[in-house]
Structure 1
Amino acid sequence: MRRLLFCLLASSIFMGCSSPPKEKIPPLVTMERSSGKIVIYQMMTRLFGNKKAVNKPYGTRDENGVGKFNDINEAALKSLKELGITHVWYTGVLEHAVLTDYTPFGIPLDDADVVKGRAGSPYAIKDYYDVDPDLAMSVPNRREEFERLLERTHKAGLKAIIDFVPNHVARQYHSDAKPAGVKDLGETDNKTVTFSANNNFYYLPGQSFQVPKEYHALGPDNVFPTKDGKFEETPAKVTGNDVFSATPNIHDWFETIKLNYGVDLQAKQTHFDPVPDTWIKMKDILVYWAQKNVDGFRCDMAEMVPVEFWGWVIPQVRVINPDIVFIAEIYNPHQYRNYIENGKFNYLYDKVQLYDTLRLIVQGKAATSAIHPIQQHLSGINDNMLHFLENHDEQRLASPFFAGDPWRGVPAMVVSATIDRGPVMIYFGQEVGEPGAGSAGFQANDGRTTIFDYWGVPEHQKWMNEGKFNGDSLSMEQKQLRQFYGDVLSLAGKNIALAQGEYLDITAHNLQAGNFTANTSAYLRYSGEERLLIVTTFNAADQQIKIQLPPAAVGALGLDPTGSYIARDLLWREAEVGFSKDFTFELKCKPYSSYIFKIK
């Protein structure tokens, strides 16, 4: 990998300033050690293997295409492993409401008026015990095809994570795949009361659900057999985002209904003794998938479910697999320690603090001095925070809504991957600069890749290369970008200082000394003789900076104050500097630079 030069470069892929391609691409960094940090690759499963590029708004499955379990072949998994990935998050596996006709296979049509998009939200689950028929080559054998994907994943040396969506289900939830003897959600509910600790849902007695008047399923120009602007639900159930109204608005999660975990939301009272029926049903679902050899669960909107449930259920699932991973989507920093200590989660989203801060820094709206206070605030739970710059909910780095150019996000990616021992995640296509362009149907052109419609992901498809997964269709610049991701993720996952070492910020010291400006960050990661200095600059122009290791850092690293040391960059392998007697060196940085220096 070579140092980045920024200039105006005409490109149909990347926007803004881009780096010109270099001819030589060195091999990936590999540094062996016994165990490393978790590195997650999130894929929208129905989009990942889709080879079609029609991309018609609200296009049908046959028009726009859909990826299958079988498309995630050995070549794809091998390539992900080589990228430095340890875990694959297969998003959208569980059966959810869709507007494709599967009635020949005994699957009833969903009501279009409570489905968002043509392919439906993967978070509007209609059968926890089944998988999405869209993803199968043979619909009757869909569960077996998923189990074979799990086998391929494990054979490739990777682990598999799936979604667990505990807070809400599709309005037409009905399990036809549940094990014998299992009662369906809501089957024994008392629908005459708003709340009962024994109910699985909340109800609005005497009221009927009304589809939001502004909602036009599939847009005003498309038809579907169940599209009539109505949905029969009496009494109305409470909507998934805690809306106690029979007339939710179009911005609510109106396609879903809220699950009842024994919390009277209106009276603000809990009823956990005896154990609520919903707890038992959801435990059985988690156990079912754990017994299928799933290695982890990303738990959707986990903080909308009482922490007491998690503290009760997670240890029981770990009886089946002590190493199973639970990741919480959570946005309230005041609840972080509660969901780790009492909820027993392994990892939590670090969205509200690190992601939001890095986004502002990339956009020139915040200073790098804001990074270290986050680490201080998270002291003691840093290892439990999952870092990312993209996921299915967020705008793409390469989109004009975020960085406008994937290379501008490079320093933020380095910080995300190296700042602590917590796991790091990327979203499929991020590694080749996918900008998330186009209006797919329900989801407008807002810099996000659709989760609601059938769609092809153009830059990702170039790497996929008709199922070869060899990247031959990528531009040289995209190959460089993917190489960068492989380098930084491999280093993050395997280097002992990054995976297990300590953290020490030296940004504040260097800012006070006037060594660099507010768009530069510097911190140390170290373990024994492995001492790393991570330097990132978010400046749009060349700049000359100084870096000094303060006395406290020299002591923490175990350096000899009278010794002679150099720092060699492991990431790009073009920079090598020598420290002066006061442990200072100068560095000429190109725009949006990143370095991982090894001190020797």
Structure 2
Amino acid sequence: MIQPDNRAHKLIIYQIFTRLFGNQTTTNKFYGSRDENGVGKFNDINDVALRELKAFGVTHIWYTGVIEHATLTDYSAYGIAVDHPFIVKGIAGSPYAVKDYYDVNPDLAVNVKERFQEFCALVERTHQHGMKVLIDFVPNHVARQYRSDAKPSGAEDFGEQDDVSQAFLPNNNFYYFPHEDFVVPEGITPPVPMREMYLERPAKATGNDVFQAQPSKNDWFETVKLNYGVDYQHGRVTYFDPIPSTWLKMRTVLRFWADQGVDGFRCDMAEMVPVEFWGWVIPQLRESHPDLIFIAEIYNPREYHNYLKHGHFDYLYDKVGLYDALRRLMEGRGTVEEITEVWQQESGDIGEHMLRFLENHDEQRIASRFFAGDAFVALPAMTLSATLHTGPVMIYFGQEVGVAPNQAEGFQGDDGRTSIFDYWGVVEFQQWVNGGKFDGGALTDRQKELRYFYQKLNHFSRRHEAIYRGGFYDLQYVNIDGQSPNYDKTRVYSYLRHTESQKVLCVYNFDRERSFSTSVRIPEGAWVGTLGLDLEKKYLLKEIFPEAGLEIELSGRDLTGPGVPLHLPPLGFYLLEINVK
């Protein structure tokens, strides 16, 4: 488990899409090849880049797209099988269509023959700069043409011993349609010429639980579902004793990467794999690697406690709760009442285990026209994400400089996301990379201001004990419905974070146009009982984030009576430390 220090859960995770991070090519041709549009390398993430990320406040780097996956770039000269164009998304391919669990993406190497050594050197560099390494573990599905040519001696490949005449057997690694061929989805037009049609006989079930020989173009048609001993087509009956073959093989995969110095895994679509597998495998891995971190991509709040308690995960995605609530606010709809619902009904008792974020590779960029249209709209939401509870926070590379995709790169189309399927140069991020200087020299003043905000927030979250280990107290119930004048219960949100030695009042206005002159009351019971403060003494409320300008002197009775008078401009917020005068 995670080492028990004061900042144990307040990780600052920086997600790097490795293929894009160091790419300085600016061609950006629709469906461009590797050589046309360029590709980032492990070696691009050098000491200079890592030193800057450490200074930015990062504790953990999630290197996305490390493990070898299907691609339309030909590496057959290096003994890597060519993938069929009908079952690859984009030119570069999806990093979640893994085709060899024991190798790394050749795109990311300067010297393809030395690709694994280049990755190991990146792991070592990252550690030397005081940061931990996370990579993806994709357990639910593999590329349709999966075949490992780098597996360790004695390791058996997936599907190698399968009885393909049977639709389901507990020890088969895949699900089959014994008398049917796979049929490519209708409407799929490969971006490169084909020499022959794709043949898969018998057909296998598709990754997103599609149990038919022809998936649709909206399915994960480029992937094959792995069999963990669950008979989906007969009532999801489970066969976990004896231990299924896929469990044993996945344990070997995880041990392999942990032995390379990887510090943790972001587990793709973890809830599509039985919780019993996680409960079996994670404790075993921690016997030899006790500090391994496991993060579950999970979207079903009803399963949160199950995957923490019985699956032994450290952290869970907080997407359908806090992310969705904050996104609606940032888009000018929704209500802050949903934030209260998140902690009351979903994750309040497990807040330290919830990974908060506003961007990742699956989500639309904040600054895109499909989302907020302005990266600065995210500042109150990002601050709340980092300070609501003691758990970790994540930033997607380029979020801090306002990346705003505005054209189709290839397979993914023009959708406000940075493509994970095609080669591309991320223009705004290239301005920070600045020809390999990693100094932001080509950023605009506005971008520099944005990045500096994120840097301040990262350090603030880990510097103040009320934030990284303190308790949480929601103040909505004593301020809404006329209790505090002009306190809009749909747009203004306030709470306390507190330890014995530090108390912080956090107040936000999520309205993009309206200001609110209001007051924020702290109930007497919380003031005396929770915070341990005196009603008769004088206190200084001093702004500690985002700036250090506002100071208000009030008595305990003022704070519990009329409250703290505040003027909140549009998207304004204050984090005020409370100290005895």
For the Cα contact (< 8 Å) 1:578–1:585, is it kept in 2? no
| Partners of 2:432 and 2:384 in 1: CA distance | 25
| Partners of 1:537 and 1:565 in 2: CA distance | 24
For the Cα contact (< 8 Å) 1:85–1:158, is it kept in 2? yes
2:577 counterpart SS class: strand
1:565 counterpart SS class: strand
Structure 1 residue 34 displacement after superposition: 6.6
Structure 1 residue 35 displacement after superposition: 5.5
Matched residue, 1:49: 22
Matched residue, 1:80: 53
AA of the residue aligned to 2:470: G
Structure 1 residue 36 displacement after superposition: 6.1
1:108 counterpart SS class: coil
2:508 counterpart SS class: strand
Matched residue, 2:299: 331
- 1:373 aligned onto 2:341: yes
Residues 55-94 of structure 1 mapped to structure 2, 5 A cutoff: 55-94=28-67
1:154 counterpart SS class: helix
AA of the residue aligned to 1:573: A
| Offset from partner CA, 1:405-441 (integer Å, 9 cap, x none) | 1111111101100000111101000011111222000
Matched residue, 1:537: 509
Structure 1 residue 546 displacement after superposition: 1.3
Structure 1 residue 542 displacement after superposition: 2.9
- 1:261 aligned onto 2:231: no
Residues 110-125 of structure 1 mapped to structure 2, 5 A cutoff: 110-125=83-98
For the Cα contact (< 8 Å) 1:398–1:405, is it kept in 2? yes
* 539-548 or 44-53: bigger deviation: 539-548
Matched residue, 2:472: 503
1:573 to 548, 559, 568: 548
Matched residue, 1:177: 150
Matched residue, 1:349: 317
- Rate the CA distance shift 1:410–1:246 in 2: closer, same or farther, 3 A: same
* 586-595 or 175-184: bigger deviation: 586-595
1:490 to 436, 459, 473: 459
2:497 to 525, 546, 555: 525
1:130 counterpart SS class: strand
Structure 1 residue 75 displacement after superposition: 1.4
Matched residue, 1:17: none
* 530-539 or 540-549: bigger deviation: 540-549
Percent identity of paired positions between Structure 1 and Structure 2: 52
Runs of at least 5 residues in structure 2 that lack an aligned partner in the other structure: none
2:408 counterpart SS class: coil
Runs of at least 5 residues in structure 1 that lack an aligned partner in the other structure: 1-31
Matched residue, 2:447: 478
| Partners of 2:506 and 2:198 in 1: CA distance | 56
Give TM-score, length-normalised by structure 2: 0.95
1:427 to 390, 396, 400: 396
- 1:557 aligned onto 2:524: no
* 535-544 or 199-208: bigger deviation: 535-544
| Partners of 1:434 and 1:507 in 2: CA distance | 34
AA of the residue aligned to 2:305: R
| Partners of 1:233 and 1:365 in 2: CA distance | 47
- 1:595 aligned onto 2:581: no
| Offset from partner CA, 1:7-49 (integer Å, 9 cap, x none) | xxxxxxxxxxxxxxxxxxxxxxxxx977561110001100011
| Partners of 2:8 and 2:303 in 1: CA distance | 29
| Partners of 2:93 and 2:384 in 1: CA distance | 34
2:322 counterpart SS class: helix
Matched residue, 1:468: 437
| Partners of 1:569 and 1:282 in 2: CA distance | 50
Matched residue, 1:9: none
Structure 1 residue 364 displacement after superposition: 2.3
* 165-174 or 588-597: bigger deviation: 588-597
2:200 to 233, 244, 262: 233
Structure 1 residue 519 displacement after superposition: 0.6
| Partners of 1:59 and 1:345 in 2: CA distance | 39
Matched residue, 2:287: 319
For the Cα contact (< 8 Å) 1:42–1:428, is it kept in 2? yes
For the Cα contact (< 8 Å) 2:6–2:468, is it kept in 1? no
How many residues align? The count is 563
For the Cα contact (< 8 Å) 1:237–1:246, is it kept in 2? yes
| Partners of 2:390 and 2:100 in 1: CA distance | 36
Structure 1 residue 543 displacement after superposition: 2.7
| Partners of 2:542 and 2:401 in 1: CA distance | 27
Please list every run of at least 4 consecutive aligned residues from structure 1 whose deviation after the TM superposition is greater than 6 angstroms: none
Residues 57-456 of structure 1 mapped to structure 2, 5 A cutoff: 57-218=30-191, 223-226=192-195, 228=196, 230-267=197-234, 268-377=236-345, 378-456=347-425
AA of the residue aligned to 1:578: E
For the Cα contact (< 8 Å) 1:69–1:146, is it kept in 2? yes
| Partners of 2:108 and 2:522 in 1: CA distance | 53
Structure 1 residue 455 displacement after superposition: 0.4
| Offset from partner CA, 1:170-213 (integer Å, 9 cap, x none) | 00000000001111100010000100001000000110001112
Relative contact order (C-alpha < 8 Å, sep 6+): which is higher? 1
| Partners of 1:78 and 1:375 in 2: CA distance | 36
AA of the residue aligned to 2:311: G
RMSD: 1.3
| Partners of 2:445 and 2:176 in 1: CA distance | 57
For the Cα contact (< 8 Å) 1:36–1:494, is it kept in 2? no
